[in-house]
Amino acid sequence: MKDTFSRKINYMRISITDLCNLRCQYCMPAEGVYKKQHKDMISLDEIVEVVKAGAEEGITKIRITGGEPLVKKGIIELIEKINAIDGIKDIALTTNGLLLKSMGKDLKKAGLNRLNISIDSLKPNRYKEITRGGNVYEVLDGIQEVLRLNMKPIKLNVVVIGGYNEDELYDFASLTLKDAIDVRFIELMPIGEASNWSKERFISNEEVRKRIGNLIPLEREPSSPAQYFKLPNALGRVGFIDPISSHFCNSCNRIRLTSDGKLKPCLHSQQEVDVMDVIRNNSSDIKSKLKEAILLKPEKHYLYTDEHIIGNRNMSEIGG
Ligand code: SAM
Ligand code: SF4
């Protein structure tokens, strides 16, 4: 499937729940998200229907995200079912990692290997503060478990926040020295809770690169939003995802499915296409809804410009 700017769309990111076992300050309000009624959320079987239709239209790669996907009952069966769909070549998960120690084995058995684990501080008190209660040792244990299980690739995602974790940049980068993992720095985006944060909290990745220093550039992978570097003698890589300072919209290959069953052409646009409604009424229309959403993809996002409209969704509903 191609959009109106001739971009080939083969990647679907699915938020399977908007609920979470953390309350990261930039992502969710302290009280968590309002719990919607069960009937208003897309079910795991309905997600499988959307993925089947997507696969027939050229979707080959799926990312499961949330909220926190590992708190969703039935996640292992969902991964097994998606893995069995003809045409799906790649399935990945984005998680805060808290439950990986206990669930790693089952995830691997279900056919999952690619993992992105979000961790914004290595300091226990700081991690607890930004996540409003999380225990960083549980995440670190989870990372060790998936390394032990030989799951790969493993990518750690770090959102850099001014005045918060900017003194830990090298500590994060140096995790790549002893383990074959990628550590990726992500620019803070003005979405959800962070949409009201001051601009001082935003640090460009160019600045992060400068502060880490000593990074050897690697060849860019065409479909990856990250630009990769290596510290000398490192086993893993250090990546930079710059959605703000040098957006990668011209190579965007993705479409999103929200936890309440809406297709979202772009993370930053307000347009949505209701696919849950057609599944519940006439599932043969899923493909036409997918096409409709893909044709609505904007050429690029307008963050930090006059044309940007602040949305009313938290990142946990869309999945990041
Ligand atoms: N709970 C899982 C996790 O934290 O990895 C998956 C969902 S979370 C919404 C997905 C990613 O979005 C996380 O890496 C998180 O750090 C990122 N994220 C949330 N709000 C963000 C913001 N305003 N700017 C940049 N990244 C953000
Ligand atoms: Fe939960 Fe992930 Fe949002 Fe943190 S970033 S509150 S872990 S959904």
- pLDDT per residue over 268-280, tens digit each? 778 899 999 999 9
In a domain, residue 5? The reply is no
In a domain, residue 6? The reply is no
CA 140 to chain centre: 19
Q: What is the CA radius of gyration of the chain?
A: 19
Which pTM does this prediction carry?
0.94
In a domain, residue 3? The reply is no
Give percent of the chain above pLDDT 70: 93
Q: Considering its fold, how many domains does the chain have in total?
A: 1
Q: Cβ(96) to ligand 2 under 6 A?
A: yes
E strand residue ranges, 56-152? 61-65, 90-95, 114-118
In a domain, residue 314? The reply is yes
List 15's β-bridge partners, or say none. 65
Q: Cβ(185) to ligand 1 under 6 A?
A: no
CA of 240 to the centre of ligand 1 (A): 15
Q: Which domain holds residue 123?
A: 11-318
Both tokens assigned to 176: 């790549």
Q: Cβ(314) to ligand 2 under 6 A?
A: no
CATH number at residue 314: 3.20.20.70
CA of 195 to the centre of ligand 2 (A): 15
pLDDT of residue 306: 53
Element (H, E) at 227: strand 226-230
For the beta carbon of residue 215, count every other beta carbon within 10 angstroms: 18
In a domain, residue 4? The reply is no
Q: Over the stretch 61-103, which tens digit does the pLDDT of each residue have?
A: 999 999 999 999 999 999 999 999 999 999 999 999 999 999 9
Q: Over the stretch 146-192, which tens digit does the pLDDT of each residue have?
A: 999 999 999 999 999 999 999 999 999 999 999 999 999 999 988 88
Q: Whose CA is nearest to atom 8 of ligand 2?
A: 67
Q: Is the CA virtual torsion 218, 221, 222, 226 positive or negative?
A: negative
